[in-house]
Amino acid sequence: MVDKQKIVTLTQLALYDKHNGPVDRMANDYFRHDYIYRKNMSTRFAVGFGSVLILVVYWLGAIFINEVNAFGLTLADFTESIIFVLAMLALYSLIGIIQGTREYYMVQKRLQQYQQHLRTLEKLEKQTKPEERI
């Protein structure tokens, strides 16, 4: 006779392997810090590039439309711009760290559930008689 609990457990394992398994196993290959760092690197580059692009457009507008003397600008004129870029990088890094940490812990939780299903399946296999085993 077929054990209903065994079928349910096997179905849950198969669904996990189909949907989340490959991604979770790749994420589990990294330590938490390394996983978060890798996830945030592209975000940091994109935010830095986008912020600099916004500032280039702003300063070109100031030079050509407002007729600001480009040769008379000093580093003090760019301090707000530098602070803007650093603030954007810090903000998006913080958001990325929070998001990456959350994702990593969700991966760990799903992998623990997967291991629990495997232990359940092992217990069910031990409980069945040898002639009933598949």
Domain boundaries, the chain: 4-127
> pLDDT > 70: what percent of the chain?
94
The whole-number pLDDT of residue 105 equals 95
Burial class of 88 by CB neighbour count within 10 A (0 to 12, 13 to 18, 19+):
middle
pLDDT exceeds 60 at position 134: no
The whole-number pLDDT of residue 47 equals 94
pTM of the entire structure?
Answer: 0.73
Least confident stretch, 13-17, 52-56, 74-78, 87-91 = 74-78
Nearest to 113 by CA among 27, 15, 7: 15
Report pLDDT digits (tens) over 57-80. Answer: 998 998 889 888 888 878 888 898
